[in-house]
Amino acid sequence: MSDSIISIQHLAKNFGSFQAVRDVNIQVNRGDVYGFLGPNGAGKSTTMRCMLSLIKPDAGDISLFGLPLASNRTQILRRVGSLIEKPDFYKFLSAYRNLDLFSRISGAPSTKKEIYQMLEFVGLEGREKDQVGGFSHGMRQRLGIAQTLLHNPDLIVLDEPTTGLDPQGIIDMRNLILRLKNEQQKTIVFSSHNLSEVEIICNRMVIIHQGKSVVEGNVKELLNEEDQIIRIQTQEDAITKGMAIVEKYPNAHVKKIGSDTIEVTLQKELIPEVNRQLIEAGVPIFSIESKRKLEDYFINLLAS
Amino acid sequence: MKYWLLLCFPFFASAQQADELFARLTQKFKQVHHYEVVAQIKPNIPLIKILPVKANVQFTYPNTYKIKSAGISILPKNGFSELPLLFSQPNQFTAIASGNEVIQGVRAEIITLLPRANEGDLVLAKIWVDTQSMLILKSLITSRSNGTILSEFEYTSEKAWGLPARMKFTIDVKKFKIPKGVATDINRTSRQVDDGNSTKKGSIEVIFGKYRVNS
Amino acid sequence: MIFFHSTRNELIKIALKPRSYLGLAAITGLVGIILFALMADGMSMISFVTASFEQTLRFEGKVLNGNLVAFIILQMLIVHIPLLVALVTGDLISGEAAMGTLRMLMTKPITRTQLLMSKFLAGGIYTFLIVLWLGFMAVGIGRFLFGPGDLMVLNSDGLVILQEGDIIWRYMGAFCVAFLALLTISSLSICLSCFSDNSIGPIVSTMAIILLFTIIGTLDVPVFDTIRPLLFTTHMAAWRSFFEDPIPWQQIKESIGILVAHNVLFIGVSVLTFHRKDITV
């Protein structure tokens, strides 16, 4: 069986005179947690919609599970669970009834027990018979996830799944995605505005800008995860001494970014050693925090 | 329906003789106090399509009719009760002999009946009488409210009572109008053309059977 | 199997949507008002129709009966039922697009044609139920309250009096043709629904088309003579032909042909349009 789950080549889609997608190339493999990154209007959602045949592309090839989407749509969609844009449900129906309706056309209708279990899994137990019209955005998002997972798909496509969620909801969503990857070996594709989210969760990613896939690949490789950027906060009068200690390490780059803070780029495994050296030299450490590199990478990439 | 009389006078040419004939017809009419009969009503009227309908007719002297039909039946507004009315109020009419005419191969004397008062609804009545059998063969009754109705009578078994086996009313349909807006056929795909030759007369034939007279 | 499930889903949605009951409630209310009016003053209404005949003739028997009441109700309501049908069927695609559920549905392994046809079928079943309810209210309740009897129908070429035993099958035929006419409305509104992403547009458009075609159909102008027989609105009253004597079978067949052709056309256009539609909402 092929390990390629999604393969998109030279995807293009116009809406009238507007070129929403010009040349997107994507390769998602089995077990990937794949991030779609890009500013608003970059073409992320259009690409996802093309992947699910919501939109007919003007050009390009889309294959899922090794099969061309155009000629194997229903066969492919049986193995896909998706939540595009926002979770829209029939407001006049209950949570249970909504899931029942979607389940019946998913190719693998679920039993009442399975639906109740799924609602419990996403934290909606006790609300099964409530009308969705009365649900908060977070609850609808959970219901959306339930709808996505109910037929046990191999591929899960989520379009900005944490948008509109409260902090706890965002954490729950991240944990859920990681559980799906680690415990159920699902392949997950999701788009997000939140760069740190992608950096934390994804092993592969694509950055789409102005309808083009600008860069695609392994997150660690793209960000050079061997090196780490850390920020060290100390006393103002100890900062010169601290900088001198750190600069002795090979390939370390030190930069003073405040009266009491320095930013250091160095190998990840040297961070505990640097910390110990500073303390032994009498440099008080108020905090050491890791700075996410994707933000810089993203900004530099788009700027270039 | 009352068509009656069996007195045999050979010939009438004067008003007096007409009055006498009318009086004898009236006497004959009074012999029938009550009867019931099954009637089959067959209208043939332009602008109306209806299948023959069976009805039960009850008559009580002098001119009360009760008609019961299973469904809707159509009868002339004049014709049934007006003739008995003439015979039930003979003093209110003047009879005038108006010649004779051969009907169904029988020579019939024509009597014209004029109301003595001007206020009544009935304007003029003409009856054709078979003086041999003393039966009314034809009547033409004109009223203010209902226009003119021509009735023809045929007799068989109940001849003795003057009760007909068949009556045919001829009516004028010129006044029939279909109310516009009520009967709009929006599914008509072609415009209807009035050919100007539409029938102006209609008829209603009533065939009687199973008489039960004065029982 | 998915088509069956999808049709079931569509029926559940229709059944649980409050708007679906507007039609049934409206029919119940309107029929109730008409029945009350006929009970209170039905004979004067009949006299208005038969006035010119009653100068010379008299009608014996029960003229105001359940069959006539049913006919009057049908004649009065058949113009309004299309709105009640379009209110639900015009919303089947565009309403889902507006709610966003169309996007959710189309990510499932159901073909667009299957989804569309299940909506047509569900719309057809809803239309059938509306016709059935109208039939029950008009014929059932009408006969219950007014009793059976011969039916007197006033056509443009005169009065037709149909005997009691000859009526029920005519009503069945009439309801079948009326259903086909309303099914055409359902198909039209679903077809228009494929072009729109809001619920009101297709409903208003359906009524506008019915109005326009009806006006063209009733304008007695020779220039419209060629197109008039082709308009579906011209054949929406074909049910009435079952109450003529003799029944104009050829005319009924033509009407059925035109209505079926319109249904095929609307379904065809819908399939083509929906297949090409980008789900962007």
Inter-chain CB proximity B171 and C150 less than 8 Å: no
Residue B127 lies in a domain: yes
Residue type, C12: I
Residue B190 lies in a domain: no
What is the torsion angle, in degrees rounded to the nearest 10, for the CA atoms of residue C137, residue C138, residue C141 and residue C145? Answer: 150
In this structure, what token pair is assigned to residue B10?
Answer: 């050979």
Same domain? A159 vs A291: no
Same domain? A191 vs A233: no
CATH number for the domain that contains residue A10? 3.40.50.300
Residue B158 lies in a domain: yes
Inter-chain CB proximity C103 and A15 less than 8 Å: no
Check residue B22 and give its pLDDT. 84
Same domain? A207 vs A237: no
In this structure, what token pair is assigned to residue A39?
Answer: 């500013």
Contacts of C255 in chain B (CB under 8 A): 187
Check residue B1 and give its pLDDT. 42
Check residue B13 and give its pLDDT. 46
- Residue numbers of chain C with a pLDDT score lower than 50: none
Rounded-to-integer distance, Cα C119 and Cα C93, Å: 8
Q: Per-residue pLDDT tens for A54-70?
A: 999 999 999 999 999 98
Inter-chain CB proximity C53 and B176 less than 8 Å: yes
pLDDT exceeds 60 at position A1: no
Distance of CA B77 to the CA centre of its chain: 10
Check residue B196 and give its pLDDT. 45
Inter-chain CB proximity C18 and A92 less than 8 Å: yes
Q: Per-residue pLDDT tens for B118-153?
A: 777 788 889 999 888 888 999 998 888 777 888 999
Enter the ipTM: 0.83
Q: Per-residue pLDDT tens for A135-148?
A: 988 889 889 999 99
Q: Which of A181, A203, A219 represents a domain boundary (last residue)?
A: A219
Per-residue CA distances from A10 to A41, A193, C261 (Å): 18, 23, 43
Sorting pLDDT into bands at 50, 70 and 90, what band is A247? Answer: confident
| C113 to chain A: closest CA residue | A74
What is the torsion angle, in degrees rounded to the nearest 10, for the CA atoms of residue C219, residue C221, residue C227 and residue C231? Answer: 10
pLDDT exceeds 80 at position B4: no
Check residue B14 and give its pLDDT. 58
What are phi and psi for residue A185, nearest 5 degrees?
55, 40
Name residues whose C-beta falls within 8 Å of residue A197's C-beta, 6 or more positions apart in sequence: A162, A170, A174
Q: How many structural domains is chain A composed of?
A: 2
Rounded-to-integer distance, Cα A51 and Cα C95, Å: 24
Inter-chain CB proximity A54 and C8 less than 8 Å: no
* HSE-up (13 A, CA, CB side) for residue B64: 4
Q: How many structural domains is chain B composed of?
A: 1
Rounded-to-integer distance, Cα C24 and Cα C143, Å: 19
Same domain? A51 vs A189: yes
- CA-based nearest distance C75→chain B, Å: 10
Inter-chain CB proximity A52 and C276 less than 8 Å: no
Contact residues of C toward A, CB < 8 A: 2, 5-6, 8-9, 12-13, 16-18, 99-101, 103-111, 276, 278-280
Burial bucket for residue B84 (CB in 10 Å: 0-12, 13-18, 19+) = buried
Which site among B186, B192, B200 would you substitute to test the C interface, given the most C Cβ atoms closer than 10 Å to its Cβ?
A: B186
Residues A45, A191: contact at Cβ < 8 Å? yes
Inter-chain CB proximity B192 and C241 less than 8 Å: no
- CA-based nearest distance C141→chain A, Å: 32
Residue B170 lies in a domain: yes
Q: Which of A119, A160, A166 is nearest to A143 (CA)?
A: A119
State yes or no: chains C and A have 3 or more CB pairs below 8 A: yes
- What range does the domain containing A292 cover? 227-303
Helix/strand/coil for A16: coil
Residues C170, C243: contact at Cβ < 8 Å? yes
What are phi and psi for residue B141, nearest 5 degrees?
-120, 130
User: Average pLDDT of chain A?
Assistant: 87
Rounded-to-integer distance, Cα B2 and Cα B213, Å: 12
Q: Per-residue pLDDT tens for A4-21?
A: 899 999 999 998 888 889
User: Average pLDDT of chain B?
Assistant: 78
CATH number for the domain that contains residue B26? 2.50.20.10
User: Average pLDDT of chain C?
Assistant: 90
Residues B139, B150: contact at Cβ < 8 Å? yes
Residues B86, B125: contact at Cβ < 8 Å? yes
Check residue C78 and give its pLDDT. 76
Q: Per-residue pLDDT tens for A20-30?
A: 899 999 999 99
Residue type, C121: L
Q: Per-residue pLDDT tens for B91-124?
A: 888 888 888 888 888 888 999 988 888 777 788 8
Inter-chain CB proximity C229 and B184 less than 8 Å: no
- What range does the domain containing B62 cover? 15-176+196-209
Same domain? A20 vs A163: yes
Inter-chain CB proximity A86 and C100 less than 8 Å: yes
Contacts of B49 in chain C (CB under 8 A): 158-161, 245
Contacts of A109 in chain C (CB under 8 A): 5
Residues C172, C250: contact at Cβ < 8 Å? no
Residue B185 lies in a domain: no
pLDDT exceeds 70 at position B199: no
Rounded-to-integer distance, Cα A284 and Cα C262, Å: 85
Q: Which of B150, B154, B153, B139 is nearest to B173 (CA)?
A: B150
Rounded-to-integer distance, Cα A112 and Cα B177, Å: 67
- Give the 3-state DSSP-derived string for A134-158, with helices as H, strands as E and coil as C: HCCHHHHHHHHHHHHHCCCCCEEEE
Per-residue CA distances from B125 to A7, B28, B31, B86, B95 (Å): 104, 19, 22, 9, 9
Check residue C270 and give its pLDDT. 94
pLDDT exceeds 60 at position B193: no
Burial bucket for residue B99 (CB in 10 Å: 0-12, 13-18, 19+) = exposed
Same domain? A117 vs A160: yes
Strand pairing partners for A90?
A: none
Omega within 30 of 0 (cis) for the link into B43: no
| B172 to chain C: closest CA residue | C56
Inter-chain CB proximity C228 and B189 less than 8 Å: yes
Q: Which of A175, A193, A219 represents a domain boundary (last residue)?
A: A219
- CA-based nearest distance C58→chain B, Å: 5
Residue B10 lies in a domain: no
* Phi-psi label, residue B214: left if phi above 0, alpha if psi -120 to 50, beta otherwise: left
Exposure class string for A119-145: b at 16+ Cβ within 10 A, else e: beebbbeebbeebbeebeebbbbbbbb
In this structure, what token pair is assigned to residue A145?
Answer: 């996830």
Specify the DSSP element, H or E, that contains A159.
Answer: strand A155-159
Please spell the DSSP secondary structure of A168-235, one letter per residue.
Answer: HHHHHHHHHHHHHHHHH--EEEEE-S-HHHHHHH-SEEEEEETTEEEEEEEHHHHHTTTEEEEEEE--
- CA-based nearest distance C213→chain A, Å: 33
Check residue B12 and give its pLDDT. 42
Least confident of A103-112, B186-195, C89-98, C236-245: B186-195
* HSE-up (13 A, CA, CB side) for residue A170: 15
Omega within 30 of 0 (cis) for the link into C246: yes
Closest Cβ opposite residue C55 in set B70, B71, B175: B175
Q: Which of A172, A190, A219 represents a domain boundary (last residue)?
A: A219
Residue type, C8: R
C74 vs A222 pLDDT, higher one:
C74
Inter-chain CB proximity C100 and A85 less than 8 Å: yes
Check residue B8 and give its pLDDT. 38
Residue B9 lies in a domain: no
Residue B85 lies in a domain: yes
Is C111 near chain B, with CB under 8 Å? no
pLDDT exceeds 60 at position A85: yes
Name residues whose C-beta falls within 8 Å of residue B1's C-beta, 6 or more positions apart in sequence: B59, B80, B83, B84, B153, B163, B164, B167, B208
State yes or no: chains A and B have 3 or more CB pairs below 8 A: no
Contacts of C103 in chain A (CB under 8 A): 54, 84-85, 88
Same domain? A206 vs A231: no
Check residue B178 and give its pLDDT. 63
Inter-chain CB proximity C101 and A90 less than 8 Å: yes
Is C257 near chain B, with CB under 8 Å? no
Q: Per-residue pLDDT tens for B61-92?
A: 877 888 888 788 888 876 677 777 788 887 88
Check residue A249 and give its pLDDT. 85
What is the torsion angle, in degrees rounded to the nearest 10, for the CA atoms of residue A48, residue A52, residue A55 and residue A61? Answer: 80
